[in-house]
Structure 1
Amino acid sequence: MPSSAAPRRAPLRTASPRGTSPSLFLVLIAACTAATVANIYLAAPLLSLIARDFGSTPPAVAWIASVAQLGYAVGLLFFAPLGDGVNRRRLVGALTVVTTAALAASAAAPGIAVLAVAVFVTSAATVIPQLLVPLVAERAPADRRALHVAAVISGLFAGIVAARVLGGLVGQAFGWRWVFAGSGVLTLTLGLATASVLPAERRDRDGSLLAGIAALPGLLRRSPDLWRACVRQAGMFGAWSALWTSLALLLTGPAYGLSTATAGLFGLFGLTASAVAPPAGGLVDRFGAAKTVRAAFLVAAVSVPLFWLGGHVLAALFAAAVTIHTALVASHVANQTLALTTTSTPAAANTAYVVSGFAGGALASALAGPAFGHFGWGGVCAVAGAWLVLGWGATAVRR
Structure 2
Amino acid sequence: MPTATVAARRSARVPTRRADSLLLVLIALCTAVTAANIYLAAPLFPLIAHDFGSTPSAVAWIASVAQFGYAAGLLVFAPLGDSVNRRRLVGVLSLVAAVALGAGATASGTTALAAAVLVASAATVVPQLLVPLVAQRAPADRRARHVAAVIAGLFTGIVAARVLGGLAGQAFGWRWVFVGAAALTALLGLATAYALPVEERRRSGPLFSGLTALPSVVRHSPDLWRACVRQAGMFGAWSALWTSLALLLTGSAYGLSTATAGLFGLFGLAATVVAPLAGGFVDRFGAAKVVRSAFALAALSVPLFWLGGHVMWALFVAAIAVHAALVASHVANQTLALTTTSTPATANTAYVVSGFAGGALASALAGSAFTHFGWGGVCAVAGAWLVLGWVTTSVRR
Structure 2 equivalent of residue 307 of structure 1? 305
Query: Counterpart in 2 of 1:67?
Result: 65
The answer for the alignment partner of 1:389 in structure 2 is: 387
Tell me, what secondary structure is at the counterpart of 1:92? helix
1:243 aligned residue: 241
- Deviations along 1:177-209, one digit per CA (max 9) or x if unpaired, are 011100011111111110011000111112111
Pairing 1:78-97 to 2, within 5 Å after superposition: 78-97=76-95
Aligned-pair identity (%): 78
Equivalent-residue separation in structure 2 for 1:202 and 1:47 (angstroms): 44
Alignment-mate amino acid for residue 146 of structure 2: H
* Alignment correspondent of 2:171: 173
* Matching residue of 1:12: none
SS in 2 for 1:55: coil
Aligned to 1:342: 340
Q: What is the match of residue 205 of structure 1? A: 203
Given the superposition, is the C-alpha separation of residues 171 and 373 from structure 1 closer, same or farther in structure 2, using an over 3 Å criterion?
A: same
Distance in 2 separating the partners of 1:302 and 1:370: 23
AA at the equivalent of 1:303: S
User: TM (normalized to structure 2)?
Assistant: 0.95
Partner residue, 1:159: 157
Q: Deviations over 1:325-355 (max 9, x none)?
A: 0100000000000000000000000000000
Q: Spell out, residue by residue over 1:291-321, the C-alpha distance to the aligned partner (whole angstroms, 9 max, x if none).
A: 1100000000000000000001100000000
> 1:360-390 CA distances to partner (integer Å, 9 max, x unpaired)?
0000000001100111100000000000000
Task: Specify the code of the residue in structure 1 equivalent to 2:80.
Answer: L
Q: Which runs of 4+ in 1 moved over 2 A?
A: 17-20
CA RMSD between the two structures = 1.1
Aligned amino acid, residue 253 of structure 1: G
2:52 is aligned, of 50, 54, 60, to 54
Residues 179 and 18 of structure 1, relative CA distance in 2, 3 Å threshold = farther
CA contact (8 A) 1:240 1:328 kept: yes
Residue aligning to 1:120: 118
Cα separation, 1, equivalents of 2:284 and 2:304? 29
2:98: which partner in 1?
Answer: 100
Matched residue type, 1:136:
V
Report the residue type matching 1:362 in the other structure.
A
Distance 1:361 1:241 in 2: 5
Which residue is equivalent to 2:108?
Answer: 110
**Secondary structure, aligned partner of 1:21:** helix
Contact 1:18-1:197 within 8 A present in 2 as well: no
Instruction: Give the Cα–Cα distance (whole angstroms) in 1 for the partners of residues 58 and 233 of structure 2.
Output: 31
Which residue identity lines up with residue 163 of structure 1 in the other structure? A
Q: Looking at both structures, which has the greater relative contact order when contacts are Cα pairs under 8 Å and sequence separation is at least 6?
A: 1
Q: Give the drift of 1:65.
A: 0.5
Aligned: 1:294 with 2:269: no
The structural deviation recorded for 1:289 is 0.5
Local SS of the residue matching 2:393: coil
Letter paired with 2:122:
A
Could you list the runs of 5+ residues in structure 2 that have no partner in the other structure?
1-14
CA distance in 2, matches of 1:102, 1:279: 36
Asked if the contact 1:20/1:197 (under 8 Å) is kept, the reply is no
TM-score in terms of structure 1 length: 0.95
The CA distance in 1 between the partners of 2:23 and 2:202, in whole Å, is 26
**Alignment correspondent of 1:264:** 262
1:398 Cα shift? 3.4
Partner SS for 1:79? helix
Correspondence for 2:39 among 31, 38, 41 = 41
In the alignment, the residues of structure 2 paired with residue 35 and residue 153 of structure 1 have an alpha-carbon distance, to the nearest angstrom, of: 12
1:281 aligns with 2:288: no
> Which of 192, 195, 205 is equivalent to 1:194?
192
* Aligned equivalent of 2:143, options 131, 142, 145: 145
Alignment correspondent of 1:4: none
Q: Distance in 2 between matches of 1:202 and 1:322?
A: 43
- CA change 1:379–1:130 in 2 (3 A) is same
Aligned length: 383
Q: 1:32 aligns with which of 25, 30, 33?
A: 30
Q: 1: CA distance between counterparts of 2:138 and 2:106?
A: 41
